[in-house]
Amino acid sequence: MSFEKLNLHPSILANIIALGYKTPTPIQAQGIPVVLKGQDLLGIAKTGSGKTASFVLPILNQLLTVNAGERNRQPRVLVLVPTRELAVQVAEVFKELSINLPQPVKSMAVYGGVSINPQMKAIYGVDVLIATPGRLLDLQGSNAVDLSKVETLVLDEADKMLNLGFQDEMQEIFERLPKRRQNMLFSATLSDQLSGINRVLLLDPVVIEIEEKVDEVELINLSGYFVSDDRKGPLLRHLIREQDMKQVLVFTSSGLKADKVAGKLSKNGIQALSIHGKKSQSARMGALDKFKSGELRVLVATDLISRGIDINELPFVINYELPRSPKDFVHRVGRTGRAKSEGLAITFVAREETHHFKVILKKMKRYIDMIDSETLDF
Ligand code: AMP
């Protein structure tokens, strides 16, 4: 399958080539034709699958080809996302793929945690609005945006929106949209709660499920250390220094622990920040930006965060604490070695967690020769 076969507008194809995408990912190859036909879509796919472009590309194509001349100054496309980070990422993909189109497509991300006034001013005339639910309702409540012209609705990372407690806001937004529209819903998993939303939202949807990419995880080098709790901090610093890690993502199981680990690293002269659900949006965004640009050496994060962040080709991920489930483990280590570049994921395991770690590895069909940190000199 090639992008040329997908019947996309030549100017969109040119942008795909400029981004360096060579072939469509499975969710793109299967999802784009469905959206172009105007059908509703339920995509079970996670970050890393190429899901964003799978809805951005056909949406741009529709904007260029269906009712193209119609410019009603109100959004024709609404993408709902759980976090500011995702809003910014999705808006970026829209922007990158909208360069030099025969008819300009204006997209914009709106999210809470920052002042609403600049967003109110900039929102007029936007074709594609990417929004977190609470801020969208605020903007709508103050008449800054009219949702009555929305033709296409996308719920991105719908499972996470529910986990973050956005159910009521989502419901309110659905009620303000025109009844006739195309719907797409993307989620990493399918829960009972989500099935409820699917039933009310999607009209006879085409369901595309992208399997966990085991072979991608296979590409990642895994290593593990037996280490007691009190030695984890020193071991972390030792590894960062010894392996000269310039950019490393560290996972803990709680926000409190993430703060502690980042604080201890900073005290020892290794620049680190933490991100988790209790941090403000702007603090999260600031830390993530610094980390992505290479300015920040260590980012310490929790699992909640691991699902929404798009960091490519990360050389190192360290599990300071074991995740609860194999799924979370895959999510965490999937941050490294993406896009076919090699990565190393290191896991710290306390002796009493050996069984739990073995269960995780068995699910991934992997085996690790553990290193006993007691044998190391640090
Ligand atoms: P997503 O799952 O949408 O978060 O995308 C994950 C990453 O894959 C992003 O960095 C995209 O730029 C990249 N990507 C998306 N589609 C393709 C493609 N067809 N070929 C190569 N990379 C892609």
Q: Domain boundary residue among 160, 175, 209?
A: 209
Ligand 1 contact via 310 beta carbon (within 6 Å) = yes
Residues 124 and 44 in one domain: yes
Ligand 1 pocket test target in 12, 23, 187, 310 with most atoms within 8 Å of CB:
310
Q: Whose CA is nearest to atom 19 of ligand 1?
A: 24
Closest listed residue to residue 368, CA positions, set 345, 334, 335: 345
What global pTM score does this model have? 0.65
Give the Å distances, CA to CA, from 133 to 30, 46, 126, 150, 339.
28, 20, 17, 15, 31
Please state the domain count of the chain: 2
Q: Which of residues 164 and 262 earns the better pLDDT score? A: 262
- Tokens matching residue 155: 């719920």
Give the distance (Å) from ligand 1 centre to CA of residue 340.
Answer: 12
Residues 204 and 223 in one domain: no
Closest listed residue to residue 256, CA positions, set 200, 305, 300, 212: 300
User: Residue 172 is part of which domain span?
Assistant: 3-209
Residues 205 and 219 in one domain: no
Q: Report the share of the chain in percent with pLDDT over 90.
A: 67
Look at residue 363 in the predicted model and tell me its pLDDT: 83
Q: Whose CA is nearest to atom 15 of ligand 1?
A: 50
Residues 188 and 235 in one domain: no
Look at residue 203 in the predicted model and tell me its pLDDT: 87
Ligand 1 contact via 24 beta carbon (within 6 Å) = yes
Q: Which of residues 238 and 309 earns the better pLDDT score? A: 238
User: What is the β-pairing status of strands 272-275 and 298-301?
Assistant: parallel
Ligand 1 contact via 171 beta carbon (within 6 Å) = no
Rounded to the nearest integer, the mean pLDDT of the chain is 90
Over residues 130-149, mean pLDDT: 96
Look at residue 377 in the predicted model and tell me its pLDDT: 87
Distance CA 319, CA 236 (A): 10
**Which parts of 243-279 fold into alpha helices (H)?**
255-267
Give the distance (Å) from ligand 1 centre to CA of residue 339.
Answer: 8
Residues 10 and 33 in one domain: yes
Q: Which atom of ligand 1 is nearest to the CA of 52?
A: 3
Q: Are 78 and 154 a contacting pair, CB within 8 Å?
A: yes
Distance CA 45, CA 25 (A): 11
**Is 110 strand, coil or helix?**
strand
To which residue do tokens 């369901």 refer?
207
Ligand 1 contact via 83 beta carbon (within 6 Å) = no
Residues 138 and 62 in one domain: yes
CATH number at residue 302: 3.40.50.300
pLDDT per residue over 3-14, tens digit each? Answer: 999 999 999 999
Residues 219 and 186 in one domain: no
* Residues paired with residue 184 on neighbouring β-strands, in sequence order: 41, 154
Over residues 203-210, mean pLDDT: 90
Q: Domain boundary residue among 148, 181, 209?
A: 209
Contacts of 32 (CB under 8 A, 6+ apart): 6, 8, 24, 54, 57, 58
Look at residue 160 in the predicted model and tell me its pLDDT: 87
Contacts of 301 (CB under 8 A, 6+ apart): 249, 250, 251, 252, 258, 274, 275, 276, 309
pLDDT per residue over 102-136, tens digit each? Answer: 999 999 999 998 999 999 999 999 999 999 999 99
Q: Which atom of ligand 1 is nearest to the CA of 51?
A: 3
3-state DSSP of 176-209: HCCCCCEEEEEECCCCHHHHHHHHHHCCCCEEEE
Give the distance (Å) from ligand 1 centre to CA of residue 48.
Answer: 6
Q: Domain boundary residue among 141, 176, 209?
A: 209
Residues 194 and 219 in one domain: no
64: burial class by Cβ within 10 Å (0-12, 13-18, 19+)?
middle
Residue 280: how many CA atoms within 13 Å on its side-chain side?
Answer: 6
Q: Are 20 and 43 a contacting pair, CB within 8 Å?
A: no
Check pLDDT > 80 for residue 69.
no
Give the distance (Å) from ligand 1 centre to CA of residue 235.
Answer: 34
Ligand 1 contact via 157 beta carbon (within 6 Å) = no
Q: Which atom of ligand 1 is nearest to the CA of 89?
A: 4
Distance CA 349, CA 369 (A): 12
Q: Whose CA is nearest to atom 6 of ligand 1?
A: 48
Residues 329 and 359 in one domain: yes
- Tokens matching residue 110: 């709106």
Ligand 1 contact via 58 beta carbon (within 6 Å) = no
Residues 309 and 218 in one domain: yes
Residues 340 and 288 in one domain: yes
Ligand 1 contact via 49 beta carbon (within 6 Å) = yes
Look at residue 283 in the predicted model and tell me its pLDDT: 86
Ligand 1 contact via 21 beta carbon (within 6 Å) = yes
To which residue do tokens 């896991």 refer?
347
Residues 9 and 70 in one domain: yes
Distance CA 371, CA 102 (A): 58
